[in-house]
Amino acid sequence: MTTRVAEYQIAIATSTVPSANTDDTVRLKVYNSGGERIENFNLDNPNRDDRERGRTDTFTFLPTRRYRTNDIEYFYLQIYGNDAWLPSAITIKTVNMQGNVDVQWSRLQWDPQHWLSTDRSDANGNAVPVYKLNKSLSRDRDDDSPPTSAFDPNHSEYEYD
């Protein structure tokens, strides 16, 4: 049985390497199996300087529409602006209507060569503005493989919105 998503709990750690932090906008986008974006969360805590080097930030969001956990197919983590950012780990939890964690996706070891940036020349050409986090690869387990690059400069989803 699958349950309706009542809340998202997101924790993102920023790497400890020099210049890993950013003040740019970062969003987490949630997609269903049909490729439709069902959520677009701005990862920003008002009155807090998010994404600082060596720090973990947590975010809580309510869904903007009704859907079930099994409707979620993948996530995009995307940066907007001119500054690069290097996360070191991400955990995404869905909480059901009873207040229990229903599903958890984790990528607890981020490849230190995979910076998020709109500037393709950052990090020796390894930087991309978007990473695709595939539910089937990271669900309910630690996954030390690098995130999948989802950059396609011709894809309209990567436009500023």
**Quick check: 108 and 72 in contact, CB under 8 A?**
no
H helices present in 19-157, as ranges: 135-138
**Can you give the pTM of this predicted structure?**
0.79
Q: Is residue 161 pLDDT above 70, yes or no?
A: no
**Amino acid, single-letter form, for residue 135:** K
pLDDT (tens digit per residue) in 140-149: 333 333 334 3
Mean pLDDT of 121-145: 57
Top-ranked range on mean pLDDT: pick from 52-61, 93-102, 142-151: 52-61
CATH superfamily of domain region 5-155: PLAT/LH2 domain (2.60.60.20)
- CA 14 – CA 111 distance, rounded (Å): 12
pLDDT (tens digit per residue) in 9-23: 999 999 999 999 999
- CA 127 – CA 129 distance, rounded (Å): 7
Kindly list the strands in the beta sheet with 87-96, ordered across the sheet, starting from the edge strand earlier in the chain.
Answer: 56-61, 5-14, 87-96, 101-107
**Average pLDDT of the residues of the chain:** 80
pLDDT at 124: 60
**Quick check: 73 and 32 in contact, CB under 8 A?**
yes
When comparing pLDDT for 159 and 80, which is higher? Answer: 80
When comparing pLDDT for 114 and 55, which is higher? Answer: 55
Of 78, 75, 53, which is closest to residue 128 (Cα–Cα)? 78
Per DSSP (E only), the strands in 97-138 are: 101-107, 130-134
- CA 41 – CA 59 distance, rounded (Å): 9
Q: Is residue 137 pLDDT above 80, yes or no?
A: no
- CA 118 – CA 78 distance, rounded (Å): 9
